[in-house]
A and B are shown apart, each in its own frame.
Chain A
Amino acid sequence: MKATAWMGTDSVKVIDVPDPKIMNARDAIVRISTTAICGSDLHLYHGYIPAMRKGDILGHEFMGEVVEVGPQVRNLAPGDRVVVPFPIACGHCSSCQRGLYSVCENSNPNAGIAEKIMGHSPAGIFGYSHLLGGYAGGQAEYARVPFADVGPVKVPDEISDDQAVMLADVFPTGYMGAEMCDIKPGQVIAVWGAGPVGLLAAASARLLGAERVIVIDRFPYRLRLAEEHIDAETINYEEADVLDTLNEMTAGRGPDACIDAVGLEGHHGNAAMYAYDRAKQAARVETERPFALRQAILACRSGGVVSVVGAYGGFVDKFPMGAFMNRSLIMRTGQCHVQRYTRPLLERIQRGEIDPSFIVSHRMPLRDASKGYKIFQKKQDDCTKVLLKV
């Protein structure tokens, strides 16, 4: 089959690899119809996630048709159209049973390496480094889906591929980002990053009853999506001082909750600040560029929530612990526990409460994956989300 492989920093290639086969009794094989490129894939693309190997198949957002199931999979049959959550989760460990699927205790066969870096191991993730399991990803013609009796959700005909594939990651992730804010009537929610995750976090904050939603980024075309589809207010951090503007907008209180939907590759309007962390990151003294996170902490109302869905892999410098501690802030974070959200969010789409596919800007054939990565990386051609069609 054809599959998108990581070939080194800033390089992916569609190559020929063997077709996947059932390896565990609870596996299914899915023939992929639509798969997406994610901001998380850019962290791999840029070489910021350790333990990648040349030839690793990328992709953790995908959907398609079940073509084969292992002997222990009874809820699915060949022909079923399904969307697959990105965390691989067994459904039976105590984490899974508490709904914490992205920290499943059994799905990372390389847990030993992850423990050395993170203390304990999170779940395995499709196409997301050997640190998180060494699983082949779904930017391919076929994928093996472990624990197919737990993760995949059947998609009704009236839901399009473009809508359904949002359930693999970005919609649940954005939704969890908003849910962690514990939104009460009248509250103001600020979101850093107007990528797919930030936009869907902002949209979800609306669904959950936020009074005002403020989205911060530097790309006007992305901020425009926030204004048009979510009725959000926006701040372009290259044009205005974010902290001043937020204080002004909230009459000095600060947002009640701040969502970091940027992650470890933040960008900074101030060239000197950017250069400081960029250089440390290049020298591997620091693994992250946590501009958005630092700003979100400083901006947040005292006693408020900082909700972190942007991805981090290692260590952060200059963490404003003083502000965090003295102002009684709360941080909530995590890789999304997608399995918890797929069904309820599918229902919201069915009821017409939201159409998350408003973020999709590009659709192209799988063979053009390399081009898709380039334009998404460089934010060319007003790119927000690239779907690859198989």
Chain B
Amino acid sequence: MSSVDTVLLSELDGPVPATLPSALGLLSLALGVGALIAPGPVARLTGVDDSPAARSVLPAIGLRELGSAAGLLSGRRPAGWAWSRVAGDAMDLTLLGRALADRSGDRRRRVALTTLAIAGITAVDVLAAVRVGRARRARARVIRMQIAVTVNRSPAEAYRFWRDMENLPRFMAHLESVRADDLRRSHWIARGPAGHRVEWDAEIIDDQPNKSITWRSLPGTRVPNAGRVRFVPAPGDRGTEVRVELRYAPPAGALGRAVAKLFGEEPEQQVRDDLRRFKQVLETGEVVRSEGSPNGISVRQQAMQRPAQPLPSSRR
């Protein structure tokens, strides 16, 4: 409960990469067991029962498959084990290619069918290996932060304000809007640089009234993200410690760079400013503005102050 890392981000460690490798693991298990305990029927089925070598090669393949199965099902280094399956597939295809060349008739047909099936499995294996690898690299890019602010309001008041997700853009500077689709799901739109927008759907996955809210983006999001906010009574009757943990995985490439810009060079500072605005809104009713910082607190605005003079009418 202490870390947002336990929140599942589907793209990073959620269902897709987790189920495909284990499905492949089960397939390896079935193949491995088959090749070991019944090499004869397997050889007949695949059309290589006429080869004396098949009787010794098949159990070796079975052992290899059992190795892959153990690796894939263990869940550790799924990318490595997924690629081991691809390597095994390549070996099988080479053997089958040779078998195909010197066979004819019904046997040749069975070998061809086997080759086709293995080629299909290879495609799935490659896909899984690529996906698992991508998820691993995305995980390596994941940005995590933990930032807190003390707000002179009760945990219940702070919780209530945050729980209405449509309030978030009032203090999260990079958000253009959040639309609550129902009590759990919401649609977020963030303002990017040069008018680019990044949109995603999110869901609340854990909701402890007056204590904490945990949310994450739905599968398919280009910028997977998750967050948890806890509302802890501040000692000495000083309101609430609002403790936020966030993590997000900016994609590689151009979109990743855009997202990086969105959060600025100091993403932590931005979130800190968001929390300052949250405090201002809860304690004073709105974001506090000055002539030098007419849009309220933000790192960018602090760096680009306008003179402390009333704004021209056109900018109001």
Contact = CB atoms under 8 A, between A and B. Distances in A.
A130 B292 contact: yes
B283 to A, nearest CB: 5
Contacts of A56: 292, 307-309
A107 B286 CA distance: 11
Interface in B227-261: 238-239
B316 interface: yes
Contacts of A55: 307-309
Q: How large is the interface on B (under 10, 10 to 19, 20 to 34, 35 or more residues)?
A: 35 or more
Contacts of B284: 26, 90, 92-93, 106, 147
Given A18-B310, A20-B310, A21-B310, A106 B288 contact: yes
Interface of B: 150, 152, 238-239, 269, 272-273, 276, 279-280, 283-286, 288-294, 296-297, 299, 301-302, 305-313, 316
B289 A110 contact: no
Most buried by B among A113, A124, A133: A133
A130 B285 CA distance: 23
Interface in A115-168: 124, 127, 130, 133-137, 144, 146-147
B280 A106 contact: yes
A51 B301 CA distance: 13
Contacts of B289: 23-24, 109, 146
Contact of A18 (B290, B301, B313): B313
A112 B308 contact: no
Contacts of A134: 290-293, 305-306, 308
A106 B293 contact: no
A130 B279 contact: no
B288 A17 contact: no
Contact of A136 (B273, B291, B297): B291
A27 to B, nearest CB: 9
Contacts, number: 126
Contact of A19 (B238, B292, B296, B310): B310
Given A19-B310, A21-B310, A135 B291 contact: yes
A21 B308 contact: no
Contact of A146 (B239, B288, B309, B312): B288
Contact of A135 (B273, B308, B316): B308
Contact of A53 (B294, B308, B312): B308
19 contacts: A5-B309, A18-B309, A21-B311, A23-B294, A93-B284, A94-B239, A97-B152, A106-B284, A109-B288, A109-B297, A110-B292, A110-B297, A110-B305, A130-B305, A134-B305, A134-B306, A135-B292, A144-B291, A146-B288
Contact of B292 (A21, A72, A133, A147): A133
Contacts of B291: 20, 57, 134-136, 144
A107 B293 contact: no
A222 B305 CA distance: 39
Given A20-B310, A56-B307, A134-B308, A90 B283 contact: yes
A26 B280 CA distance: 13
Interface in A327-358: none
B310 A107 contact: no
A18 B283 contact: no
A136 B286 contact: no
Given A94-B239, A105-B279, A106-B279, A57 B309 contact: yes
B173 to A, nearest CB: 12
B48 to A, nearest CB: 71
Interface string A205-231: 000000000000000000000000000
